[in-house]
């Protein structure tokens, strides 16, 4: 069978799409779908061929021939052509097979719709993208674990409300980061499971007329299950909203940790450094060493929120049925969201791989601050019976007076504390050990003993628990990847065997 320039694909429309429609909408969509969705379309078509064979509408030889032509489509599919295929990839794929057949097949593509066909390929594309994002996300943990293990006892300033607050360590901060990484991985895995249902067999919106085995088609395409409701399968496109929503949440979390790194790498702190190959220069100020890679990480995280908002607004106030507005326009940037998420994570991976903490600068900053105020207030209460709220007042007054005297925390005067306490009605003595311990930077780490605290042993506990969670999430990812990526080999084997057994 050969193509003709006047091929009619429908009895209702006699004219090909206008040049403007083709240039602005159809041809760009066609190019995108060839680049991103064609492998999934081919897999879906092969499964349909197996179903036609199972239902007795194709013979073994006919199904094999269709399968072979579909395999060639990845290399040979014609370009968008409004006069031949209406610049529609589904029609182009159909024409590719029809023109290549040795003899016409009347039943091939009977009882079919583009709606569930396109929805199925879109979900498969999102699933594949999620697997790539998850792989990169879980790949951050070993790098952070190595950094944390090397800095369990290195004191650094921790901040609340943009003010120096308490002594922490890079390891403590990094375990907070990896906590959010693993939380994000768990949410993305749950999202994967949520969208892991196959729309194929839903038809245009109300189901199909032949005895399609939707469970079997879903299994062959690596899905956990078919989408149970035909209308929801083609109308919802909730998979786009759910994936972009989770990516935007992940981006928001990563942007906050990126902000910490930006501040710590600035000239005011100088708590960290990156190698030259990850750094930038100023064109006018030769003394500067910039870290624009961190700005890129944070900037890309903002795109993720924008892409989700775009998808959300594209679906809002639309009828709950299959629409180009929802299926194409509202999902137009889903692949860009996945791309930016991958880019953000790849950049963050090289940052963690090259990051070094300047422990000398961090310790110096800790020694300049009266971080031990909280600890000293606790001591006044537990050792000297000063009521808690009054101990806060006494210690606050003591630190204020010490700052006026320009006294460094390590040289804080116990006699001054006792004098101020007496002025507040608490005549206490023997506070030397309490004052010395309170403003000892290393003691500030080990005095915290609760689970999840900065104590090096508690951080080790966190790392051990996170290591177990990381291993579990990695196994879950591998299980889903194995099911989703075994599709083509399995389907091709069934087509070659000539049996569905």
Residue by residue, DSSP assigns 135-146 as HHHHHHHHHHHH
pLDDT for 30: 86
Given this model, what pLDDT does residue 1 score? 42
Indicate the helix (H) or strand (E) that contains 399: helix 388-404
pLDDT (0 to 100) of residue 78: 66
For 439, counting Cβ atoms within 10 Å of its Cβ (0-12 exposed, 13-18 middle, 19+ buried), the class is: buried
Q: Given this model, what pLDDT does residue 5 score?
A: 44
What percentage of the chain exceeds 70 in pLDDT? 96
Three-state DSSP class for residue 192: helix
In tens, the pLDDT along 285-314 reads: 777 788 899 999 999 999 999 999 999 999
User: How far is the C-alpha of 459 from the C-alpha of 322, rounded, in Å?
Assistant: 51
pLDDT of residue 11: 63
Q: Report DSSP letters for 71-105, one per residue.
A: HHHHHHPPPP-TTTTTT-HHHHHHHHHHHH-SS--
Rounded mean pLDDT, 374-380: 96
- Express each pLDDT in 384-443 by its tens digit: 999 999 999 999 999 999 999 999 999 999 999 999 999 999 999 999 999 999 999 999
| pLDDT on residue 399 | 96
Nearest to 355, CA basis, from 177, 99, 104: 177
Give the DSSP H or E segment for 357. strand 356-357
Which helix (H) or strand (E) element contains residue 434?
A: helix 432-438
Segment 185-210 mean pLDDT = 97
Mean predicted confidence (pLDDT) in 90-114: 92
* Tokens, residue 111: 């009882």
Ramachandran category for residue 117: left, alpha or beta (phi over 0 → left; psi -120 to 50 → alpha): alpha
d(CA 470, CA 478): 12
The per-residue pLDDT for 264 is: 96
Q: What residues does 322 pair with on adjacent strands?
A: none
Rounded Cα–Cα distance for residues 173 and 18 (Å): 58
pLDDT of residue 362: 97
Task: List Cβ<8 Å contacts ≥24 apart for 27-36.
Answer: 27/80, 27/87, 29/87, 29/89, 29/328, 30/79, 30/80, 30/87, 30/88, 30/89, 30/92, 31/80, 32/335, 33/89, 33/121, 34/77, 34/89, 36/125, 36/335
Give the model's pLDDT for residue 406: 96
pLDDT in tens, 135-145: 999 999 999 99
Distances (CA, A) of 238 to 23, 217, 382: 29, 21, 56
Q: How confident is the model at residue 345 (pLDDT cuts 50, 70, 90)?
A: very high
Torsion sign, CA atoms 265, 271, 277, 280: positive
Centre a 10 Å sphere on the Cβ of residue 132 and count the other Cβ atoms it contains.
Answer: 15
Can you read off the two tokens belonging to residue 487? 């599709």
Residue 18 neighbours by CB under 8 Å, 6+ apart = none
**Helices 334-354 & 238-265 angle (0-180, nearest 10):** 30
Rounded to the nearest integer, the mean pLDDT of the chain is: 93
pLDDT at 75: 77
Question: What confidence score (pLDDT) does residue 79 get?
Answer: 73
- In the chain, DSSP finds a helix count (H) and a strand count (E) of 21, 6
The number of angstroms, rounded, from the C-alpha of 322 to the middle of its chain's C-alpha atoms is: 28
**Contact in structure between 175 and 465 (CB atoms under 8 Å):** no
* CA–CA separation, 240 and 238 (whole Å): 5
Given a contact cutoff of 8 angstroms between Cβ atoms, the answer to whether 207 and 113 are in contact is no
Which band of pLDDT confidence, cut at 50, 70 and 90, is reported for residue 499? low
Contact by Cβ (8 Å): 406, 395 = no
Q: What share of the chain is helix, strand, coil (3-state, %, to 5)?
A: 65, 5, 30
pLDDT band at residue 284 using 50, 70 and 90 as cut-offs? confident
- The whole-number pLDDT of residue 14 equals 72
pLDDT digits (tens, 9 = 90+) for 144-184: 999 999 999 999 999 999 999 999 999 999 999 999 999 99
Q: What is the pLDDT of residues 389-406, one digit of tens each?
A: 999 999 999 999 999 999
Over its C-alpha atoms, the chain yields an Rg (Å, rounded) of: 31
> What does the alpha-carbon distance between residue 294 and residue 265 come to, in Å, rounded to a whole number?
10
pLDDT digits 0-9 by tens, 22-80:
889 888 888 888 889 999 999 999 999 999 999 999 999 999 999 999 999 877 776 76
**Share of residues in the chain with pLDDT > 90 (%):** 83
Mean pLDDT of 228-255: 96
Q: Is the pLDDT of residue 86 over 80?
A: no
The pLDDT score that the predictor gives to residue 2 is 44
What distance in Å separates the CA atoms of residue 236 and residue 270, rounded to the nearest whole number?
50
What number does CATH give the domain 115-159+178-363? 1.20.200.10
**What is the structure's pLDDT at 9?**
56
Assess contact for 221 and 205: CB atoms under 8 A. Answer: no
Q: What is the pLDDT of residues 460-472, one digit of tens each?
A: 999 999 999 999 9
């Amino acid at each position: 069978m050969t193509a003709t320039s006047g091929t009619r694909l429908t009895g209702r429309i006699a004219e090909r799409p206008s040049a403007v429609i083709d240039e602005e909408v159809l041809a760009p969509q066609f190019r995108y779908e060839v680049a991103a969705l064609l492998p999934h379309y081919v897999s879906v078509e092969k499964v349909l061929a197996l179903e036609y064979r199972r239902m007795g509408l194709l013979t073994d030889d006919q199904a094999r021939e269709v399968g072979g032509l579909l395999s060639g489509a990845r290399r040979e599919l014609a370009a968008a052509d409004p006069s031949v295929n209406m610049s529609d990839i589904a029609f182009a794929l159909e024409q590719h097979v029809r023109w290549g057949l040795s003899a016409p097949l009347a039943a091939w593509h009977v009882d079919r719709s583009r709606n569930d066909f396109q929805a199925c390929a879109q979900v498969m594309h999102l699933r594949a993208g999620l697997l790539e994002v998850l792989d990169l996300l879980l790949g951050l943990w070993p790098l952070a674990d190595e950094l944390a293990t090397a800095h369990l006892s290195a004191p650094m300033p921790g901040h609340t409300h943009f003010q120096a607050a308490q002594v922490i360590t890079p390891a403590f901060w990094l375990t907070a980061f990896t906590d959010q990484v693993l939380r994000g991985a768990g949410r993305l895995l749950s999202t994967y499971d949520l969208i892991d249902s196959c729309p194929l067999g839903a038809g245009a919106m109300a189901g199909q007329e032949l005895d399609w085995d939707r469970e079997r088609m879903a299994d062959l395409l690596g899905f956990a299950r078919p989408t149970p409701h035909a209308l929801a399968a083609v109308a919802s496109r909730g998979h786009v909203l759910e994936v972009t929503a989770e990516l935007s949440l992940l981006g928001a979390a990563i942007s906050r940790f990126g902000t910490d790194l930006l501040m710590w790498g600035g000239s005011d702190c100088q708590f960290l450094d990156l190698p030259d190959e990850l750094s930038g220069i100023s064109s006018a100020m030769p003394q500067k060493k910039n870290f624009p890679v961190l700005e890129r990480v944070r900037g890309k995280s903002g795109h993720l929120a924008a892409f989700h908002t775009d998808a959300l607004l594209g679906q809002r106030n639309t009828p709950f049925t299959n629409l180009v507005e929802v299926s194409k326009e509202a999902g137009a940037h889903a692949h860009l969201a996945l791309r930016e998420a991958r880019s953000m994570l790849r950049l963050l991976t090289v940052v963690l791989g090259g990051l070094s903490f300047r422990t000398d600068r961090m310790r110096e900053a800790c020694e300049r601050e009266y971080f031990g105020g909280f600890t000293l207030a606790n001591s006044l209460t537990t050792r000297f019976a000063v009521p808690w709220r009054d101990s806060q007042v006494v210690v606050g007054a003591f630190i204020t007076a010490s700052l006026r005297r320009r006294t460094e925390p390590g040289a804080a005067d116990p006699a001054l504390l006792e004098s101020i306490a007496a002025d507040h009605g608490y005549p206490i003595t023997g506070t030397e050990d309490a004052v010395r311990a309170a403003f000892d930077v290393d003691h500030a780490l080990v005095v915290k003993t609760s689970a999840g605290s900065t104590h090096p042993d508690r951080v080790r506990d966190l790392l051990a628990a996170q290591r177990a969670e990381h291993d579990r999430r990695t196994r879950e990812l591998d299980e889903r990847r194995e099911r989703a990526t075994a599709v083509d080999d399995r389907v091709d084997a069934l087509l070659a065997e000539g049996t569905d057994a």
